Amino acid sequence: MKVQRKRTGTAARRVLTAEIAVVGALALALFVTELPSIMREMKIWRISGGLRAGHRYP
């Protein structure tokens, strides 16, 4: 006779944790690859006056 075991959902939790890890790694990789362009845009923004530029550069 088999003993019925309670389902605790650990397999689903492991899959969800793995999916979160993969998505986080992909987001981090995308951020790292885009970092040089973000830095370049920030330099251009600072040269053009930043928040002080106001309505000069629409």
Q: Indicate the pTM of the whole model.
A: 0.59
| pLDDT tens per residue across all 58 residues of the chain | 677 777 777 888 999 999 999 999 999 999 999 999 999 999 988 888 887 776 665 5
Tell me which residue has tokens 């928040």: 51
Nearest one of 35, 48, 6 to 57, comparing CA atoms: 48
CA distance 52 to 43: 14
Whether residue 30 contacts residue 37, with contact meaning beta carbons closer than 8 Å, is answered with: no
- List C-alpha distances in Å: 54 to 27, 29, 30, 46: 33, 34, 31, 12
